[in-house]
Each structure stands twice: as structure tokens, then as C-alpha cells.
Amino acid sequence: MSRIEKNIEEIRKDIKEHSPNPEKVRFIGVTKYVGIEEMLEVAKCGVKIFGENKAQVIKEKEEKFRELGIDDIEWHFIGNLQKNKVKYIAEYVSLIHSVNKLSLAQEIEKRAEQNNRIIDVLLEINIAGEESKEGYVLEELYRELPEIMKLKNINIKGLMTMAPFSDDEVLVRGVFKRLREIKDELNTKYFNGQLTELSMGMTNDYKIALEEGATLVRIGRKIFQ
């Protein structure tokens, strides 16, 4: 068994052990620092969701996979997305994790309509209020949400956040718990239970995120270490 296979098996085991609903959890192979050969090895292990944070790079990788005859990959955009880069990914991206302003949602709507698609998105919330991180503050989200919900070519699937990079488990768990609570609040007030996804947890904190209800965990370093 290769190093990558072993690490992926360990992640799958952790999902079963730490999630209250492991059948609802998918993990995203974060491949922004690796090339096609390593990605192919990950795909051979059955991981078919790749997360990237640069629009041109994800486009190049998607094209390379198609050249290789591999067409069953889900491409997730997981970083800060600039409006002028949406055009590069609108044709094929499966899920955009990082909608954090109305103007970005409107650009995704425009590009989705041009490609005759409805694009799934998550709303990114900056729970901890860190200036170094992107994401809505809650008051701003509630202010812009009615306009976002009018957009016909985006489908809001859930929420995303990043916890502080900290060894304080209480702090990290509190961030993930709060995102779950906000999802429940939004489902009650606006979405009638249709928000199903919580994208939270990375290599250093995904076990805590799973315990707090994550359905999407974004793991890179753990796969390749």
C-alpha cells in the first residue's frame, strides 16, 4: 500500500469514527500544491472530488484530465474567488465553496446563465471574525441574503467556514458548532431545510469538524504527508 493510499484509508476511518452521520460526509482532496501524477494516484484510491483555489490552475487541470479520458471528477473551488476569474470555471465547476458577497454571487449567476447551468454554491461565513480570512460577517449575510436568493442560476447548498489555526480545541469546536447553528437558523427562516452541506475542517481540525456535523472536509496535507 502506498503512502497516499494509507493516508486516504486513515481519513476514511476517521470519518466513520468521528461523524455522527458518516454516510453524508464527502472529503475533498485539496490538490492546489500537487501536480497531475499525484492527483491520478489519489483518484485511483477512489477520491473523485478535488479542491483548488486558483481559477486558471483548476481549468488547466480539468483540461488535462479530459485529455486523459477521465471525466468523473468533481471540481470544487475552495479559495477566495475574484469576480473576473469566474468565467474560467463556470462551465464545469461542481461546487463553489466561497461565496462571500452579493457581487460575486451575481457574477456566478451571469456566467452560469451563459453556460446554461445552475451552479451549486456555499455561503462563506467568517465565524471567528479574523481579519486575515474572507467570509461574511453574519449581519452582512442577513442583509444581502434576500437578493442572493433571487438569483435563478445558483443553488445555495449550505455554508462554509475556516476555524482559526489554533491548538485551542474549545475555540475551534465553538466555530464549527456555531456554523451548524447558523445553518439551522437559516433553514428555519429562509430555506425550509434545503441547506444540507457544511464545509468545515481541514487537515489540522477535521476530526473536530466531523463531530460537529461537517458534511464536506477539505484535506490536502494529510493525504500527501
Residue-wise pLDDT for 21-41, tens only, equals 999 999 999 999 999 999 999
SS3 (DSSP) at 157: strand
* pLDDT > 90? residue 1: no
Whole-number pLDDT of residue 128: 82
Q: Using alpha carbons only, give the angle 51, 54, 58 rounded to the nearest 5 degrees.
A: 60
Q: Which residue has the cell 429562509?
A: 190
For the stretch 146-156, what's the b/e string if a residue is b when 16 or more beta carbons lie within 10 angstroms of its beta carbon? eebeebebbeb
As given in the structure block, the three cell numbers for residue 25 are 460526509
Question: What pLDDT sits at residue 216?
Answer: 98
CATH class for the domain made up of 3-224: alpha beta
CA pair distance 214, 199, nearest whole angstrom = 6
Cβ atoms 176, 201 nearer than 8 A? yes
* Distance from C-alpha of 207 to C-alpha of 15, rounded to nearest angstrom: 8
Average pLDDT taken over every residue of the chain:
96
CB-CB contact of 87 with 64 (8 Å): no
Q: Parse the chain into domains and list their residue ranges.
A: 3-224
What pLDDT band is residue 48 in, cutting at 50, 70 and 90?
very high
**What would the mean pLDDT of 77-91 be, rounded to a whole number?**
96
> Does residue 165 have a pLDDT over 90?
no
Separation between Cα atoms, residue 107 and residue 173, nearest integer Å: 33
pLDDT tens digit sequence for 96-154? 999 999 999 999 999 999 999 999 999 999 998 777 788 999 999 999 999 999 999 99
